[in-house]
């Protein structure tokens, strides 16, 4: 099957990368570097998609049977994924504001 801890780390690593890229994009937007911000958001989306793919793999493996153990590290990974998704949504909105102010 798969190593649960290693698989869960895929969520944590990719979600963390996505969140970091979002905040880097926001810093670029603050400086008026919108092309760079857009590139970073694209990278953030790719990292978020990778994290989501790992989550989907876990859901498919469990198939609603409860066979996947809900460990503290799994809950931690889900927290990372959700906060990175929220960060991306907010950063996209903030960058839009900076973009409109610069126009």
Residue 76 annotated among the catalytic residues of the structure = yes
CB-facing half-sphere around the CA of 88: CA atoms within 13 A: 22
Catalytic residue, chosen from 76, 82, 89, 96, is 76
Long-range contacts of range 89-94, CB-CB < 8 Å, 24 or more positions apart?
91/22, 91/23, 91/25, 91/26, 91/41, 92/41, 94/26, 94/29
Determine if residue 39 is labeled as part of a ligand binding site: no
Catalytic residues: 76
Mark the binding-site residues for Mg(2+), compressed into ranges. 79
């Amino acid at each position: 099957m798969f190593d649960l801890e290693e698989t869960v780390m895929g969520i944590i690593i990719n979600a963390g990368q996505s969140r970091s890229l979002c905040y880097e994009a926001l810093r670029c937007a603050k400086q008026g570097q919108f092309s760079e911000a857009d590139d970073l958001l694209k990278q953030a989306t790719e990292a978020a998609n990778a994290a989501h793919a790992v989550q989907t793999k876990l859901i498919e493996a469990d198939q609603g049977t409860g066979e996947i153990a809900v460990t503290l590290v799994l809950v931690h990974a889900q927290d990372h994924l959700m906060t990175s998704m929220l960060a991306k949504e907010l950063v996209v909105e903030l960058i839009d504001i900076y973009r409109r102010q610069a126009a």
